[in-house]
Chain A
Amino acid sequence: MQLTVFNGSPRGKGSNTKVLVDQFLDGFMKGNGNSYKIVYLNTTKDSDYLIKMFEEAEKFLLAFPLYVDSMPTIVKTFIESLEPLCGRKENPDIGFLVQSGLPESIHSRYVERYLKKLSARLGCSYMGTIIKGGVEGAQAKPVWMNKKLFNSFYQLGKTFGETGKFDEEIVDRLAQPERYSKIHLWLFKLFGKFWYWDTMLKKNNAFEKRFNKPYLEVK
């Protein structure tokens, strides 16, 4: 099986998207005769090349971080360039990976509807959308902290490499929680990732300025 992956993160090779895709590909490559190509949209501006990569793909995975409830600009630019290929018979099967900073998958469900419709618009067979919340910071964590997450993506890639399908059970598991329960919301308020921002703010000597309102016009 041949798989072409486009990484749509503006952070490219330093992205959370990359660490998840890498695990998926490790699993995928366990399958006999499988091969892949990967393209980083943040550094590849040649739209003819991108279109050609899409045209030649057998299976196509578009992976990106959720950006203001949809796809990053570089991903939308790529999608716009595919307009001439709508309905082309030989278009690849297409699947998506959307990972977000906010922890619940509800945030990504809206763009999921868009992606499903996009597949129909292109005339691509839709393989599904993998959704994973709470991924911000994953790329900077020590390996042991990501073990469970990485293993899921590895397994997902492995079964995909064998069957050409996303394992529904793993996809469902990754998408938990859809929303937080009351107790989880309460726990989040107590232990949520505030330290994540505070650590960076302090390191940059910006902690005291964290509530700045630089654009406010005083009336």
Chain B
Amino acid sequence: MTSKKMKITILNGNPQADNIKFDSYIDTLTGLLKSNRHTVTAFKLRDMDIKHCIGCWSCWVETPGECIISDNSGEICKSYINSDFVIFASPVIMGFTSALLKKAMERLLPLVHPYFEVVNGEIHHLSRYDRYPLMGLIIQKGRDTDEEDIKIISDIYMRSAINIKTSLRFTKLTDGSVEEVVNAINSI
């Protein structure tokens, strides 16, 4: 039974339309989350206009909180910051999540603040918003993906979570069932 109705954003970083297995996993997951009364926004990143972050700092020092590049990334930022939970999803390519997902992730920079603060004895950036969604990671193993790769990816996302002012709640493989993911989210 659903304990809490949540707003969930899914970032589908599958770059290849012919990787049907991945997209249908995400579709099934989206459906099941909805039938658990969550509100779900799933972005299929490869069909969107998302440009590279060029490191210009405009989102920090010129138009604070907003990127100056006009494309679909604003939509993602908006859905992201107003969610309770965000799922980053990608096939593993050369031992890491896709460049496509990375591109979308870099464009989340406007959501944090340039100022610094100390978190667990390390320097990080300050929050811009009062709350940030929790984070989950779903990956599809490639032919050569091993346990070490999964650990490395998961650890890097754990670090990114600190930088986007949240924590990584799970790393799940598309080998597993969607129910597993839904249960993990429902138990929050």
Asked if B149 is at the interface of the complex by the 8 Å CB criterion, the answer is: yes
B103 neighbours in A (Cβ, 8 Å): 73
Which of B25-33, B91-99, B175-183 is the contact stretch? B91-99
B129 touches A67 (CB 8 A): no
- The number of chain B residues with a CB under 8 A from chain A is 53
B121 neighbours in A (Cβ, 8 Å): 179-180, 182, 185
Chain B nearest CB from A184 CB (Å) reads: 10
Partner of B111 from A15, A71, A203, A215 at Cβ < 8 Å: A215
Q: Give 1 or 0 for each of B110-151: 1 = CB within 8 Å of chain A CB.
A: 110111101001111000110000000000000010001100
Closest residue of A by beta carbon distance from B66: A214
Partner of B95 from A121, A204, A216 at Cβ < 8 Å: A121
B149 touches A11 (CB 8 A): no
A215 touches B113 (CB 8 A): no
B99 touches A73 (CB 8 A): yes
Chain A nearest CB from B163 CB (Å) reads: 6
B55 touches A11 (CB 8 A): yes
B55 touches A189 (CB 8 A): no
Closest residue of A by beta carbon distance from B160: A69
Chain A nearest CB from B1 CB (Å) reads: 25
In terms of DSSP, what is the predominant structure of the interface of chain B? mixed
Partner of B93 from A68, A80, A216 at Cβ < 8 Å: A80
Closest residue of B by beta carbon distance from A87: B144
Known A11-B54, A73-B103, A80-B94; judge A215-B122 contact (CB<8 A): no
Known A114-B95, A117-B148; judge A107-B122 contact (CB<8 A): yes
A50 neighbours in B (Cβ, 8 Å): none
A83 neighbours in B (Cβ, 8 Å): 93-94
Could you give 30 example pairs across A and B, Cβ below 8 Å? A11-B54, A68-B105, A70-B160, A73-B52, A76-B94, A79-B96, A83-B93, A83-B94, A86-B144, A104-B122, A106-B122, A110-B156, A113-B152, A114-B95, A114-B156, A117-B149, A179-B122, A180-B121, A185-B121, A188-B118, A197-B115, A203-B61, A206-B62, A211-B113, A212-B64, A212-B128, A213-B128, A213-B129, A215-B77, A215-B129
Which A residues have a C-beta under 8 Å from some C-beta of B?
Answer: 9-11, 15, 42, 65, 67-74, 76-77, 79-80, 82-83, 86, 102-104, 106-107, 110-111, 113-114, 117-118, 121, 179-180, 182, 185, 188-189, 192-194, 197, 200-201, 203-204, 206, 209-217
Which B residues have a C-beta under 8 Å from some C-beta of A?
Answer: 52-55, 57, 60-66, 74, 77-78, 80-82, 93-96, 98-99, 102-103, 105-106, 108-111, 113-116, 118, 121-124, 128-129, 144, 148-149, 152, 155-156, 159-160, 163-164
Question: Given A79-B96, A214-B65, 20 other A-B contacts at CB below 8 A?
Answer: A10-B55, A67-B55, A70-B156, A76-B102, A104-B123, A110-B155, A114-B156, A117-B95, A117-B152, A121-B144, A188-B116, A188-B123, A193-B116, A201-B61, A206-B61, A206-B62, A210-B64, A212-B65, A215-B66, A215-B110
